[in-house]
Structure 1
Amino acid sequence: MPATPAWPPKSAPRLFVEEELGQGRTFALEGSHAHYLGKVMRVREGDTIIVCDNITGEWAARVGQVDKRRVDVTVTERLREREEVPDLWLCPALLKKDRFDLVLEKATELGVARIQPVVTRRCVADKLNLDRARTITTEAAEQCARTALPELGEPVKLEALLRDWPQDRALLFADEQGGEAAADAFTVHSGPAALLIGPEGGFDDAEREAIRAHPQARAITLGPRILRGETAAIAALSVWMATAGDWS
């Protein structure tokens, strides 16, 4: 007996859309979505795609009319509810564009709930194109089958981050001068929590002193080697997800 084909097909294109989804709803995809579906994936009328709205979850949808600049779709069935992600924020210092792009992409794949960029004294950048950043996180979420997009904050200076920090959230900052072993700290401070990662060159002495003086802050170490900012962010998130997150 032949095997039953997977439903929906694993090859079905997957997109986040702005419309709130529901059984039987019909809407049009235009712009980059229409180009992706029509020109890149070459969908045809009757094909199935997967759509998410960051509100209700993940749905299968049937493709209707396909034009050069528009693709009509009808929602047919819900596949998954919107996922509950661990209550973990990533607060990475801004890096060079390509390196920070990697942080945005991998943080999304690893399941972080919020990305809050930080500007420190040794940052090589002090601005972030939020529209471009959201495109990167959205595409990463589509690729890894997330049903919830990470929140993305505008960059804030370190002083403002510390001043306005919520009292109920642990601030675990990677300090190259040492601290509690990351895995041990993550087991104790499993959430709500946030990881603070420094820039190229690390925090300066005054910043480090201010962070350590904060009542919610806990210094952690990520091992005996000095890591790049993007490596530290990815490594810390991986250890947190394995010890306190949703990998178990």
Structure 2
Amino acid sequence: MRETTARKALSLLDLTDLSDGCDAAAIETLCRQAQTPFGPTAAICIWPRFVAQARGILGEGHAVRIATVVNFPSGDLPVADVVAETRQAITDGADEIDLVVPYRAFLAGNEAAVTDMVTAVKAACPAPVRLKTILETGEIKDPALIRRASDLAIAAGGDFIKTSTGKVAVNATPEAAEIMLTAIKESGKPVGFKPAGGVRTVADAGLYLALAANILGADWASPKTFRFGASGLLGDILAVLGGQAAPAKPAGY
């Protein structure tokens, strides 16, 4: 069972390096790590300034997709700036855009800020580029508001709703995941889900996959509908698949 979960998690992993100290050498390493003996991860998720480098390493049409972040991590940039950031990232070779919604404005009662941002950035993402909307659920906290933010992001055209940036005290939680997965189910739209931050072991991954199966069906989770945002999860996946002892748990994303 652990091996089955590990193989599934590998296929759904956005292998992430959004560390402050990330550099060109780290991107080379990340691109290499994403191509494992057991198959590729779904994507890498990196800062925008490294997208062109990663595209040069991976080439066009590679099995490992390139995701990058915009309006990250604050969620406070003007819409025009975020649209420009998005367009540049796509020009550089990004396949997927992970957008932080203006959650502080939302918490202050400005729902239109979320709708306007997601709508504008979605319009800047030509198919097949996918837009993942980061709600920062650990800062929103209130279950009713997490549900409302989910509904707004879905209605505005987000292809995924994602829990967190990994840059705040509380990131992905099963409680937030259940709310978001239920919002997806009740929307009736083909929207995906991405828990991010704090998913570090195959057991952690299994918990989120079980939630998705319970709410949306056993066959729902695929790379088109479900991703894990993590930097440390790959080590545990490889340990399980290789029959090795699990590595020490990392402290980061």
Q: TM-score range by the shorter chain?
A: 0.3 to 0.5
> TM-score, with normalisation over the residues of structure 2?
0.32
Structure with bigger strand share is 1
> TM-score, with normalisation over the residues of structure 1?
0.32
Larger Rg: 1
Structure with bigger helix share is 2
